[in-house]
């Protein structure tokens, strides 16, 4: 069975800044949750931009390598085409449309679907995140951080993606909220077969829910394996403590 996402020897650069990713390879199996771990500046967001076709908006380019999505090569494929191919994204910072209602935000995500299918998918999102149903007429800008993250996820999921990419899911959220969101994503994977690549700095929560993980350090994969292998790796602590400030080290230390 082919992987839903297959990145091979990917190198990515930015104009006048050199390479941000160097010879990176990773894969996401169908229906699995894979975590991409690393400190700020490690290249995680750059990798997401490369997969989702957003590099040109940031003066970035693919210098080498391949990106396969369900068997098709997608380097330099336009973002709107990737959405229609079955890719969804939740960007860092959530980026909901704050002036629009919750329901209108979901409608934006469902715009590629026929009307009947859109209504069905929106109802499925409300079932997944009941809080959004309670807030459906409220402007997104008035939601809490956790509710906005649920909305960003719902907006991506309403289109029925086969591959979901989430950038910094737990950023700025209380641990209990993060736990609840991850549990819902597990349900999505189990019921819909959605494959997920989730960027995380919180190692503890990522390794609890992901089946595999990759550690990105200074633009290169420094460690990869099952969650148990990553968790038990003697090099895990050294790898992270070498790339973050001491005062933030507790945030990304493995249990």
Q: Which residues of 182-199 are buried (b: 16+ CB within 10 A; e: fewer)?
A: bebbeebbeebebbbbbb
Instruction: Verify that 80 and 125 share a domain, yes or no.
Output: no
Q: Is the pLDDT of residue 251 over 50?
A: no
Q: Tell me the CA distances in angstroms from 103 to 3, 27, 93, 109, 118, one per residue in order.
A: 33, 34, 19, 10, 11
Instruction: Verify that 64 and 121 share a domain, yes or no.
Output: no
Q: What is the DSSP string of 85-101?
A: HTEEEE-TT----TTSB
In 129-234, which residue ranges form alpha helices assigned H by DSSP? 130-134, 145-157, 175-192, 203-209, 227-231
Burial class (CB in 10 A: 0-12, 13-18, 19+), 2: exposed
Q: What is the DSSP string of 204-252?
A: HHHHHH-SEEEEEETTEEEEEEEHHHHHT-THHHHHHHTTS-GGGGGGG
pLDDT given at position 94: 67
Instruction: Verify that 141 and 182 share a domain, yes or no.
Output: no
pLDDT given at position 236: 73
- The model's pTM is 0.85
Residues 6 or more apart whose CB falls under 8 angstroms from that of 41 comprise: 243
Instruction: Verify that 155 and 168 share a domain, yes or no.
Output: no
Residue range 12-53, pLDDT digits in tens: 999 888 899 999 999 999 999 999 998 888 899 999 999 999
Which of 235, 236, 233, 174 lies closest to 205, judged by CA?
Answer: 174
Instruction: Verify that 122 and 169 share a domain, yes or no.
Output: no
Last residue of a domain, one of 108, 142, 160: 160
> What is the tally of structural domains in the chain?
2
Instruction: Verify that 139 and 62 share a domain, yes or no.
Output: no
Cα torsion 162, 165, 171, 175: sign: positive
Instruction: Verify that 166 and 222 share a domain, yes or no.
Output: yes
Instruction: Verify that 15 and 130 share a domain, yes or no.
Output: no
Last residue of a domain, one of 145, 160, 175: 160
Angle at the Cα of 121 from the Cα atoms of 148 and 92, rounded to 5 degrees:
30
Instruction: Verify that 145 and 203 share a domain, yes or no.
Output: no
Residues 6 or more apart whose CB falls under 8 angstroms from that of 98 comprise: 139, 140, 141
Q: Is the pLDDT of residue 231 over 90?
A: no
pLDDT given at position 2: 86
Which residues, listed in sequence order, are joined to residue 217 by a DSSP beta bridge?
A: 220
Instruction: Verify that 117 and 133 share a domain, yes or no.
Output: yes
Instruction: Verify that 156 and 183 share a domain, yes or no.
Output: no
pLDDT given at position 239: 55
Range of the domain at 198: 5-86+162-252
CATH number, domain at 233? Answer: 3.40.50.300
Instruction: Give the tokens for residue 135.
Output: 């807030």
Instruction: Give the H or E element holding residue 128.
Output: helix 115-128
Q: Tell me the CA distances in angstroms from 240 to 20, 221, 225, one per residue in order.
A: 18, 12, 16
15 SS3 class: coil
Last residue of a domain, one of 160, 178, 213: 160
Q: Is the pLDDT of residue 249 over 50?
A: no
75 SS3 class: coil
Residue range 57-110, pLDDT digits in tens: 999 999 999 999 999 999 989 998 999 899 998 887 668 888 999 999 999 888
Instruction: Verify that 143 and 178 share a domain, yes or no.
Output: no
């Amino acid at each position: 069975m082919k992987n839903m996402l297959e990145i091979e020897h990917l190198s990515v650069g930015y104009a006048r800044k050199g390479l941000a990713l160097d010879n990176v390879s990773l894969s996401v199996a169908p229906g699995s949750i894979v975590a991409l771990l690393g400190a700020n500046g490690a290249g995680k967001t750059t990798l997401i931009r490369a997969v989702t076709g957003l590099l040109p908006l940031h003066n970035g380019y693919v210098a080498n390598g391949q990106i396969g999505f369900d068997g098709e090569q997608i380097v330099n494929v336009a973002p709107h085409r990737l959405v229609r191919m079955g890719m969804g994204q939740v960007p860092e910072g959530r980026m909901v449309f704050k002036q629009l209602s919750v329901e209108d935000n979901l409608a934006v995500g469902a715009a590629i679907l026929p009307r009947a299918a859109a209504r069905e998918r929106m109802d499925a999102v409300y079932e997944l995140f009941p809080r959004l149903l309670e807030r459906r007429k409220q402007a997104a800008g008035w939601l809490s951080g956790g509710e906005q993250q649920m909305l960003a996820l719902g907006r991506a999921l309403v289109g029925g993606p086969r591959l979901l990419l989430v950038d910094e899911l737990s950023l700025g959220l209380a641990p209990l909220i993060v736990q609840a969101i991850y549990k819902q994503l597990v349900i999505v994977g189990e019921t819909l077969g959605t494959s997920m690549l989730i960027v995380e700095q919180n190692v503890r929560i990522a390794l609890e829910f992901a089946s595999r993980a990759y550690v990105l350090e200074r633009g290169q994969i420094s460690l990869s394996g099952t969650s148990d292998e990553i968790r038990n790796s003697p090099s895990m602590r050294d790898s992270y403590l070498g790339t973050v400030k001491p005062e933030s080290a507790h945030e990304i230390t493995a249990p």
